[in-house]
Amino acid sequence: MANPNMKHPQNVAGSWYCTDPDDDNGEGCIACNVCYTGAPDFFEEDEDGNAFVKKQPESEEDKELCMEQLEACPVGSIGFDG
């Protein structure tokens, strides 16, 4: 489960977030590219390849797409506070 206390600093404000790669709980982004290739309208990579949320989903279809990325993340670094 993503650590809400270790959010990537480039996340836009909202319920969805990615964790910082420096998360000591082992849930930090590992730059696997699953989310930003699977949902490029919502996730982006920083200069090191680590993911952050660039746009919050609004429609149910967009939320489902982001949930697919959350479930596919191999280290659980995508979080949803909603």
Using DSSP, state whether 18 is helix, strand or coil. Answer: strand
Tell me: pLDDT of 74 over 90. Answer: yes
Residue 6 located in a structural domain:
no
Q: What is the pLDDT of residue 55?
A: 98
Cβ neighbours for 8, distance < 8 A, ≥ 6 positions apart: 17, 18, 19, 20, 21, 29, 46, 50, 51, 52, 53
In a domain, 8, yes or no: no
Q: What's the CATH number where 76 sits?
A: 3.30.70.20
- In tens, the pLDDT along 7-18 reads 999 999 999 999
Q: Which range marks the domain in which residue 35 is found?
A: 16-80
DSSP assignment, residue 11? P
Q: What is the pTM of this model?
A: 0.93
Running DSSP on this structure, what letter comes out for residue 61? Answer: H
pLDDT tens per residue across span 13-66: 999 999 998 877 777 899 999 999 999 999 999 999 999 999 999 999 999 999
